Amino acid sequence: MGPEALAQVLRPLTAFVPPERRADLIVGLAEGDDAAVLRLDAERALVFTVDFFTPVVDDPYDFGAVAAANALSDVYATGGEPLMALNLAAFPPDLDPEVSGAIVRGGAEKAAEAGCAVAGGHTIQDAEPKFGLAVIGLAHPDRLFLKTGVRPGDTLVLTKPLGTGVITTWAKEGGVDPSALAGAVESMKRLNRDAARVFARFGVRGCTDVTGFSLAGHGMELAEKSGVRLEIDSDALPFLPGAREAVEGGFVPGGAVRNRSYYEGKVAFAGAVDSVVRTLCFAPETSGGLLAAVSGKAEECVRELRALGVPAAIIGRALPAGSGEQGDKRIFVADRGSMAGGAGG
């Protein structure tokens, strides 16, 4: 479902929050953040999210691990630590039990890596396999990462390279470069745990993860909810090996077309930014990285991330709304010649 249709479906539900829960519901449908957050007391808040999807890779174990990492990511993107999860699975009745078992095992082992116990779940029959997790986590209510937390002057840090969506589309169509697919799978299976913990130490308050609505779409959510505009350095954007080749070969998922249609009116590109980079900015990601706004010491933050094996990169900055080149757009994807100044901090 595209972003516009999803917004129309969910908008009326905000009226149904029970009055006794409204004061403690820090993040709900009205806020549209990565996970729901309910205050338990002054020190603890419950973080709850759910995510599942159809296979993005052929290997069943890898599919389970990717689906789990993707679901867990929303807890990390909110500044929480996952505690417990439930499986959500749909399997064809004739699916080999070894295949379904490998999917579930991949998910459980990835959750265990995150320190999260898979304590049950629910399975139904369906023609096409689907798998994911409902995850409960804990966070401090005053230290949440929120889409409203970006401030002008913050430096934008992205913790995973882009390109999973176009590479997995290439794999589905056939002929994918095996090394490109292996790199995409490795990236999708990587937890965002270490990145979130480093961001917490650096006092990050504005953050999201880059998934189905693309870098442009999720960046747009940060910009609009925080009342800023984002300037992204196209030359600093990290891409997975094979991502450019996938786009050049025409392996562009339908989600990229929907994202472009919905968001492009609020995104401007410098003339020197080529069509491949533009497409990758709108292409959906699976289990993508965190996009965080770091207030000061961004280069030190990135060094700490890289020391932990997180392939982080500084990709731009937040500016006051309406400022700079193409100030009427929420996002300006620049080249080095059109950047207003350095992106570091």
pLDDT in tens, 249-282: 999 999 999 999 999 999 999 999 999 999 999 9
CA distances from 43 to 46, 73, 95, 142, 193 (A): 10, 22, 45, 8, 21
Mean of all residue pLDDT scores within the chain: 94
* CATH topology match: 3-139 vs 155-338: no
Distance, in Å, from the CA atom of 56 to the CA atom of 77, rounded to the nearest integer, reads 22
Contact partners, residue 72, CB within 8 Å, separation at least 6: 82, 85, 110, 111, 114, 116, 133, 135, 191, 192, 193
Q: Locate the domains of the chain by residue range.
A: 3-139, 155-338
The SS3 assignment for 64 reads helix
Distance, in Å, from the CA atom of 80 to the CA atom of 337, rounded to the nearest integer, reads 39
Superfamily of domain 155-338: PurM-like C-terminal domain (3.90.650.10)
Angle at 241 between CA 235 and CA 243, to 5 degrees: 75
Residue 142 CA from chain centroid, whole number: 22
- What number does CATH give the domain 3-139? 3.30.1330.10
Distance, in Å, from the CA atom of 216 to the CA atom of 261, rounded to the nearest integer, reads 12
Proportion of the chain above pLDDT 70, given as a percent? 93
Angle at 63 between CA 79 and CA 241, to 5 degrees: 80
Token representation of residue 95: 């699916």
pLDDT tens digits along 283-318:
999 999 999 999 989 999 999 999 999 999 999 999
**pTM for the predicted model, two decimal places:** 0.93
